[in-house]
Structure 1
Amino acid sequence: MKLVRVAIVGGGRGGYSVLRMLKEIKEVEIVGISDVEPEAPGIVAAQEEGISVTRDFNELLSLPDLDVIIETTGLPEVRDKIQQNISSKTALMEAKAANLIITILKEKKEELLEIKRVKSQLSAILDSVQEAIEVADINGNIQYVNNAFSRVTGISEKDRIGQNIFEASPDGALASVLKTGKLVFGHRTKVGGSNAEVVSNAAPINVDGIMEGGVVVFQHFTDVMNIMEELKKSTTIIESLTDKLGQVTTSKYTFDDILGNSDELKRCINLAEKSARSNTTVLLLGESGTGKELFAHAIHSSSMRRENPFIKVNCAAIPETLLESEFFGYAKGAFTGAVKSKIGKFELAHSGTIFLDEIGDMNLILQGKLLRVLQEMEFERVGGNQTIKVDVRVIAATNRNLRELIRQGKFREDLFYRLNVVEITIPPLRVRKEDLPVLLDNLIVKLNRKLGKKVRGVSKEAEEMLYNFDWPGNVRELENVIERVMVTMDEEIINKKNLSQQMNQFRISHDRDIELITIDQMEEMLIRKAVAKFGNTVEGKRRASQALNISLATLYNKLKRQKPTNIKI
């Protein structure tokens, strides 16, 4: 069998992952890998395996008989240059697509082996029956005969397979079926090329309602029914695998996709990276739009489960009546319309990660069932009685205050502690505004590609306007605003006028008239406003003291002296 010759551009983490997975596929030959960094993990691993390495990916493009080149750098300029110079006989594949395909292949290896086993069993059944069996495709080309065929007719398998039934036995039952598409019973004839006189039963072979060929059985048709039953079982297995493969996904982002240099964000990333090394449950907290799903993807991508499924469930988007069947699946006949069993999200996520988004919106009954899965790692499908065991890593996220929901009796305390093994609170954009420049640069590059624009940056006045806004919708709102601005503008620089036109509904806070008050009252009001804005944590108070231009110690002293006040801030 001819091996598929593959080259990899990029020896970083993505290239290393692709290299490692391809090494496990015996039908693939890795002919080379390139990276400008000689110490890149993929380059080091390739050298250990005796695979050719190079700093210039152009050398890979000239390799003879190259079937596939996988680009893992993610750099548009690299991808474009490869597309310009690649041979027409060579396919270009991005790393994410390659990872997804390889992951699915590995995940389903055992099921595919099961299909192979069923095929072997079917072949053994066909060879064990006493009646002769012959199969031809829709064009009449004979594809299969069993051992009994040779015994009954005296024609060997080698001499029969490859002939055309319309030439070998034009008056036989099999030829009649292929011509008419109708069943044939008790057809008496001689087998072409043989003196054997037989009574034949023949039937068409239909796949998804389309006739693909026919089968003939000499003498009795009884055993054909058993064969068709085995074929039906094989079809059921294939359909089940098809349904499962269609729902399996993998993570799309890594920690490299989380942009920002603020201390708050770095602490979150550091904690998330540590949690990724274990299988412990992670609870992601934070306002809407802060990037909780991005963190979940990154944790899975950096974990030992990264080659296995990453399944996302939005608990708020699925009706409560359907949420249980989405989680655990249902058995055939569980309710009206359940004509076949369905695999649930937890079963799909076996050996991988399940991300439960908006966990705070789950009803109490399902919370109890989820708690059992987390404790025992087993469940039953809706309407079923078979216990299914799974190995799943759980990451949950919410923008709601779970502790307050517990006090209100809307969230189970035992489930909270089961989920809250590692708690990561992702900071809102308003407390990490120093990350705005890198976020803006990334958004402009991405949106230029999406919208076909050539925006180069943001003016100083527009940038100040962005800094002065509190961004209640966080990074998601920032992306929305910038995209709306870029869609409507023709300039290369986003200016204050462009921005003002799209932010009219977001009223930036202005100074408001207040009654004359004492200096002490004004100072107290400013301190309260600063703490409210930056938070009551140690880091929030540090930022508040910087904004007020006083020392942290002075801020603490003034807070201690403050008394309750009715002054609104």
Structure 2
Amino acid sequence: MDRKVRVGIVGMGRGGSTVYKTLRSIDHIDISVVCDLLEQNPGMEMARVDGVATCMTLNAFLNVPNLDVIIEATGDPIVQEQLERNKAKTSAMVEAQGANLMMYIIEEKEKLADIKRLKGELDTVLNSVQEAIEVAGIDGEIKYVNPSFSRVTSIPASQRIGHNIFDVSPNGALARSLRTHEPVFAHRAQVGGSNVDVISNASPIVVDGKMEGAVVVFQPLTDIYKLMEQLKASNQVIDDLQSRINQISTSSYTFDDLIGSHPEFESALDLARKAAKSNSTILITGESGTGKELFAHAIHGTSLRLDKPFIKVNCAAIPETLLESEFFGHEKGAFTGAVKTKLGKMELANGGTIFLDEIGDMNPYLQAKLLRVLQEMEFERVGGTQTIKVDVRVIAATNRNLLELAKRGDFREDLYYRLNVLELRLPPLRKHKEDIPAYVHSLIAKFNRKFGKHVMGLTSQAEELLMHYDWPGNIRELQNVLERAIVTVEGEIVTHKSMLNLVDSQTPLLQDQVVSGEIMPIEQMEKQMIRLAMKRYGDSVEGKKQAAKALKISLATLYNKLRTMS
């Protein structure tokens, strides 16, 4: 029976525990030891219950023999450096990205089988001592040769033992080490008495400080070439696993991170909690910055798929020429630059959730392929013919009106209805400004931890400034404004003056007068509000119609007022 791959895990926080839970269910993996500074960490307790060895120091961890793979899940550069410097040469180290990452490592059993086979071949070579060994005393008399020596050189032991190395192989590594009393590395030569080309390493044998002889270990060049090819193949498999780990993440937010008391927000939150328990496709709509991705994270983290991958794809950020390959992967040689087979996002998300952000920007060709995945849960890689079946929960998000796009022919209507099984509509921040104080309190605590600050809060005028601003960038804009304010503030209180230049630069005078309680002429305020409306909705005919509607005046009145302002 083939030997299992022996694995050790350093760091049993959220990320390491997720890796542990994933690996312990795989037949070909043997988790030999886990390590964490906190003995009471839930991940450590889980391992103890399973009967897996635990330790609390790197020294103890590194003393565990025969580890094939070390998974570093702390994200600490110091820990990574110590492991890399002190681990056994036969151990491969794979780094996992932080405690908020979930690593679903193996997608295909064939890859694990490859690792097991290649590792088994290397172990057989080392454990069976296939290298030729020859030992000579200080005077050069040959004392010992192992069976592999005769196999490699075709020289029987009886014709070697008792002869002098300075006579039979005076230019070899063993004779050189005896003469110089120094080690000899990577010495290429022909074995005396044969025509076999070998690579030799020789070292003095020292007993109680006195050199008693030397030993040489060598291999024929043909064997070394074979081992190099096997090692290259093994490294390729490990690189493929590392590539998968780097693409896989876990949900980073929960429903506890979603703050809001507006009825429309609470309605979306309630529906999201219910939807999390199902496998239904979800469409999250709302303006940019309203928290659509946070909702997707929270839904996955509360679903039955929480211990499986959460894969995010920004449909607008990937070049159109690469979008299909990113989604469905490609076979080796499918196009120029495809030097190896690559798994797509859909395949990586198998068993978990895929979050399709900005779905409205997906090209029509890919929309058709995505529709097939939603209907059949199967696809082919680019350049491939094999049909791959997956089990993926889809959450899509957009700040565009997909139904309107569908009517114009810019989005497939059948895909729209397939995505819109459950729709979560997130309100813009200007509709629930009463939640701004709660957001501010939470964000101040977050940025104090991030930047080592001790900001206590905002002045009443600064709070009033935030409440009067319309936040076109929504919660994301509020977060950015507070982050910049906290980074630049000198004391413990953020004032309105330090925030005036961080919000809408076109209306600072109006904001300043509002928060300071100063009075301005109605005509002047009217002009500023018209400018603000025009900036928000644009100077097009449609923009002017929306601006007039927002100002609650007729379009003709707006044109008249704009004419008097010019």
TM class by smaller structure: 0.5 to 0.7
Q: Which amino acid aligns with 2:131?
A: E
1:436, CA displacement in angstroms? 1.0
1:410, CA displacement in angstroms? 0.3
Distance in 2, matches of 1:427 and 1:411, equals 23
2:33 counterpart (27, 33, 36): 27
CA 1:203–1:334: 2 relative to 1, 3 Å? farther
1:422, CA displacement in angstroms? 1.7
Answer yes or no: is the 8 Å Cα contact 2:173–2:184 preserved in 1: no
Distance in 2, matches of 1:273 and 1:373, equals 25
2:299 alignment counterpart: 299
CA 1:17–1:322: 2 relative to 1, 3 Å? closer
1:217 alignment counterpart: 220
1:200 alignment counterpart: 196
Q: Which amino acid aligns with 2:101?
A: L
1:385 alignment counterpart: 385
Paired residues for 1:115-154 under 5 Å: 115-121=115-121, 133-134=130-131, 149=151
1:401, CA displacement in angstroms? 0.4
Distance in 2, matches of 1:467 and 1:66, equals 50
CA 1:354–1:214: 2 relative to 1, 3 Å? farther
Q: Secondary structure at the match of 2:220?
A: strand
CA 1:284–1:149: 2 relative to 1, 3 Å? farther
Distance in 2, matches of 1:107 and 1:175, equals 53
Answer yes or no: is the 8 Å Cα contact 1:134–1:149 preserved in 2: no
1:477, CA displacement in angstroms? 0.9
Q: Which amino acid aligns with 1:217?
A: P
Paired residues for 1:120-519 under 5 Å: 120-121=120-121, 133-134=130-131, 149=151, 187-189=190-192, 198-202=194-198, 216-217=219-220, 221=222, 229-505=229-505, 507=507, 513=523
Which whole-Å deviations, capped at 9, do the CAs of 1:140-182 have from their partners, x for residues lacking one? xxxx997995997788xxxxxxxxx9xxx99658999x96858
1:26, CA displacement in angstroms? 5.5
Answer yes or no: is the 8 Å Cα contact 2:312–2:356 preserved in 1: yes
1:248, CA displacement in angstroms? 2.2
Distance in 1, matches of 2:384 and 2:498, equals 59
Distance in 2, matches of 1:171 and 1:366, equals 68
Q: Which amino acid aligns with 1:100?
A: L
Paired residues for 1:46-61 under 5 Å: none
Q: Secondary structure at the match of 2:382?
A: coil
CA 1:5–1:328: 2 relative to 1, 3 Å? closer
CA 1:478–1:146: 2 relative to 1, 3 Å? farther
1:448, CA displacement in angstroms? 2.6
Q: Which amino acid aligns with 1:303?
A: S
Distance in 1, matches of 2:427 and 2:314, equals 21
CA 1:2–1:308: 2 relative to 1, 3 Å? closer
Distance in 2, matches of 1:4 and 1:326, equals 30
Distance in 2, matches of 1:154 and 1:201, equals 18
1:100 alignment counterpart: 101
Q: Which amino acid aligns with 2:455?
A: V
The answer to which of 492-501 and 312-321 deviates more is: 492-501
CA 1:399–1:438: 2 relative to 1, 3 Å? same
CA 1:15–1:228: 2 relative to 1, 3 Å? closer
Paired residues for 1:508-547 under 5 Å: 513=523
Q: Secondary structure at the match of 2:313?
A: strand
Q: What are structure 1's unaligned runs of at least 5 residues? A: 35-41, 52-63, 69-94, 137-143, 156-164, 191-197, 206-212, 515-528, 530-561
Answer yes or no: is the 8 Å Cα contact 2:16–2:99 preserved in 1: no
> Percent same amino acid at aligned positions?
49
1:320, CA displacement in angstroms? 0.9
Q: Secondary structure at the match of 1:33?
A: coil
Q: Secondary structure at the match of 1:498?
A: coil
Q: Secondary structure at the match of 2:497?
A: helix
Distance in 2, matches of 1:342 and 1:3, equals 27
Which whole-Å deviations, capped at 9, do the CAs of 1:59-114 have from their partners, x for residues lacking one? xxxxx97449xxxxxxxxxxxxxxxxxxxxxxxxxx9934637x356779984454
1:14, CA displacement in angstroms? 10
Which whole-Å deviations, capped at 9, do the CAs of 1:307-348 have from their partners, x for residues lacking one? 222221111111111211221222222222333333322222
Which whole-Å deviations, capped at 9, do the CAs of 1:236-273 have from their partners, x for residues lacking one? 32232232223222222222222233333232222222
Distance in 2, matches of 1:21 and 1:410, equals 41
CA 1:7–1:329: 2 relative to 1, 3 Å? closer
CA 1:492–1:292: 2 relative to 1, 3 Å? same
CA 1:232–1:470: 2 relative to 1, 3 Å? same
The answer to which of 298-307 and 394-403 deviates more is: 298-307
The answer to which of 448-457 and 271-280 deviates more is: 448-457
Q: Which amino acid aligns with 1:27?
A: V
Distance in 2, matches of 1:483 and 1:567, equals 40
Q: Which amino acid aligns with 1:339?
A: V
CA 1:377–1:118: 2 relative to 1, 3 Å? farther
Q: Which amino acid aligns with 1:427?
A: P
Distance in 2, matches of 1:271 and 1:145, equals 73
Distance in 1, matches of 2:228 and 2:123, equals 12
Which whole-Å deviations, capped at 9, do the CAs of 1:497-524 have from their partners, x for residues lacking one? 333343351536999659xxxxxxxxxx
Q: How many residues align?
A: 433
Q: Secondary structure at the match of 1:354?
A: strand
CA 1:229–1:483: 2 relative to 1, 3 Å? closer
Q: What are structure 2's unaligned runs of at least 5 residues? A: 1-5, 26-30, 59-95, 134-145, 158-164, 177-182, 202-215, 515-520, 525-532, 534-551, 562-566
Distance in 1, matches of 2:15 and 2:186, equals 52
